[in-house]
Each structure stands twice: as structure tokens, then as C-alpha cells.
Amino acid sequence: MKRKLLIISILISIIFAGCHNTSVKTNKKATDKKANDIVFIFKNVPAYKNFTFPSGISSGSFPPSLISYINNNGLMWGYNPPQKVDTFTIKNIQTDYLEVLYKFQGLENIYYLFRKGDTIEFTCGKNLYPHVKRYTSEKLTKQYNFQANIKDRQSKFGFESFTLLTFGPNRKLNKAKVEHPDFYNTTLKRLHVDFVSVDTLRKQFKNYIRNYQNRLDSLHRKNELSETYYKYYSYLLKRKKTVAAIYDNLYARKSNLNQIDTLYRGFFNDSLIHYISYDRMVNAFIWNVLQYDKNVKLFRSSDGSNSDSRQIFDNINILKNIPPKTKNLLRFYCLRDIIENFSVEDIHKYLSEYTQLTHDSVKANYLIKKYNLNFKTSNDLLLKNEQGTRITFKNLL
């Protein structure tokens, strides 16, 4: 009897031990999974899609989401909180750090570099500028808020001088005031309340750069800024100086396309391909440089005249001194434009060429799904009913 009780006791111990080990393994998997996520908590989120100027004109910049980032598939993704207080999780991040773009008042892009496993709280004060709090780490909280504490950061309307220097409508107002004063003083007179002098902005930006660099170096010397964040904020400063120089050339009396091209190429670096700030630079290169190639013609579309992205795609194939991953990103954005503006035959041709050149079936399949591409239905319009069933316009008739 005692022998039987002993055996039963041993079996019960083994069963409980097994259950305990299973529980530990399950909890460990859940913890490991959470360690690859970033959780965002939004509090008092203000309007972020557009900014209304004193003249009443409302304007915003792309991307329109409150936060945007490059996901694991290399695609730009965004999230819009449906209410002022909200929580959002980016799951299973495959890199140690993730760069996130926060949209400030519809126009200003604020870039952050967060560590996976973070829980981040965004709150906005009276000036609407976001304060970032990293739970469990005061040191990281200070590093994440580095840009908010630059001396003389804000210019007119609460934006940085950089934001207004690179805001197209303001540059056009400045250009019109100098080159076409009669037109400015009559037709554009009502917009003068939105006007900010480029000369003033340049002086403010010069001071901002100096204050930025001084603070960056000071915090680094005091070990209050890690090597990772010292390099990251140095990169952002280089980016701002490059973009400001590009805009000065774009809106000069005689735009110097070669100089703009050189500025972009000097900035390109495939190691930055997972940053959304880099993605935006690569995309802008198409429309600020490549579309102006002499063999790229304009075509008429429903929203006016556009550059022929088929020719731009062809030209990318022979570009020199462009890193391979950056070149593939350029191809992707051209392919997307081809899908939106050209025939099924063109789409099929360039989609096939894209996959052959890049070996990137993930992005190709993303575009096929997004635009409901189905080459078996020829050039017919593809429709979807309320139940999600697809039908061609021809069959509908």
C-alpha cells in the first residue's frame, strides 16, 4: 500500500512539474513576443491632418497619419488614433530600433528612434508639441525628447524654421514677391498674412543648427546621450541641412538640377533604408530630380499633367552611383505610379520587370493586392460588392 502511495505521489509531482514547465515556457514565449513590440499610448492628441493659416487656407504634408513608420516588409505604414486617448501596438519588430514619424500640426515631421520593447506615451501641452515618455527609463525619456529642447527651436506659427523653409507654398510666395511684385501685391495680397521671409528663416535656421550641434555635443560629453542616439541625431541634422540646401536650389532664380542631384547622391546610404526619414528622401529624389530628365515627357491625366513614370523607371535602371537597395526603392515608387496611371499592358510589363530586377515579391504582391490587379480579367474594370465578391464591369452589364 505504501509502495502504491509512493508511486502515485511521484506521478503527481511529475505531472505538476510538467504543467509548471509548460506554464513557464508559455509565459517566456509571451514575454519574448512582447519584447519585440512597441506600445504607443496617446493622450490629448490634437488635430494633426492639416494646419489652418491666418488666411484661412488649410494645408498638410504627406504622409497624413499621426505616426508613420517602415514595417518589416519595407513598406510605409501609418496609424491615426480614432480618439484623443488611444493605444496602438506595432508588433514583431525585426530590428533593434524603429524610426517613427510623428506629424505635428499637419506640416512638421518629427522623427524618433524607439527601441523595440518600449512602451511610449505621447502627451501634448498648450503648444501642442509632443512630449515623449518612456516607461521604466528616465534616461531614454530624456534622449527621446532631445529635439524638443533645442534653444530657439520654434519659429512662426509654432513650427521650426526648417519646416517653413521647406514648405512649398511659402517658398512660392517669397519667389513671387521678389520676381513678380505686381502679381504678389494684387492677386496674392490676401495671402500675405501667411508669408514668412526666407531670409529671416535662413538666419533662424543657422542659429538652430548651431544650438542643435552644441547641445548634441554637450550631452554626449556628459554621457547623457548614448553613442546610438548621438549618431542618430547627427544623421537627422545632416538630413535637415541637405534638404534645406535642396530647397534653396529648387527655388533659386535658376534652379541648378545638377547641384540638387549631387546633394541627394551624397546623402544616399543603404544602411538607412529602414528609416522612414530616408524613405521620404528617396521618394522626393524622383520628383525633384529624375522627372526632369530630358527624355521624360509629360502626359495628361485626370488630375492634370504628370511626368511619365515609365520613362523614369527605365532611366533608374541605368543610374550610376546609387546604392542597390535605394535603387530598388526608387523602382518601387515608380511602379506604384505606373499602376495608378497606365494601362494593364504597361502594368504587367513593369511589374514583371520590377520582380526580375529586385527579386522582391513581397512588395510586388502588396501592390497587386492593394490595386486589385487581376491580369486574367484583361483591361476590364474590376468591381467589388458589399460582400467583398469581385466582378468585372463587363459581367455586371
Q: Which helix (H) or strand (E) segment is 323 a member of?
A: none
How far is it, in rounded angstroms, from Cα 235 to Cα 239?
6
Q: Which amino acid is at 145?
A: N
Per-residue model confidence (pLDDT) at position 21:
56
Mean pLDDT across 69-96: 95
Beta strands 38-43 and 119-124, pairing class: parallel
Per-residue model confidence (pLDDT) at position 299:
84
- Let me know: does 107 contact 48? Beta carbons within 8 Å: no
Cβ count within 10 A of residue 141: 16
User: Please, which pLDDT band fits residue 325 given cuts at 50, 70 and 90?
Assistant: very high
Mean pLDDT across 142-165: 96
- What are the angstrom distances between the C-alpha of 393 and each of 379, 380, 381? 10, 7, 5
Per-residue model confidence (pLDDT) at position 170:
97
Sign of CA dihedral 181, 183, 186, 192: negative
- pLDDT over 90 for what percent of the chain? 78
Interval 264-321: pLDDT, tens:
999 999 999 999 999 999 999 999 999 999 889 988 766 677 899 999 999 999 999 9
Per-residue model confidence (pLDDT) at position 47:
80
Per-residue model confidence (pLDDT) at position 19:
53
User: Please, which pLDDT band fits residue 17 given cuts at 50, 70 and 90?
Assistant: low
Per-residue model confidence (pLDDT) at position 393:
42
174 pLDDT exceeds 60? yes
What is the Cα 115 distance to its own chain's centre? Answer: 17
Interval 86-103: pLDDT, tens:
999 999 999 999 999 999
Nearest to 365 by CA among 335, 391, 387: 335
- Count CA atoms within 13 Å of residue 4 on its CB side: 1
Q: Which helix (H) or strand (E) segment is 12 a member of?
A: helix 2-34
Per-residue model confidence (pLDDT) at position 34:
79
Per-residue model confidence (pLDDT) at position 125:
84
Mean pLDDT across 131-158: 94
pTM: 0.86
Per-residue model confidence (pLDDT) at position 84:
86
Tell me the three-class secondary structure of 40-88, residue by residue: EEEECCCCCCCEECCCCCEECCCCCCCEEEECCCCCEEEECCCCCCEEE
Interval 214-264: pLDDT, tens:
999 999 999 999 999 999 999 999 999 999 999 999 999 888 999 999 999
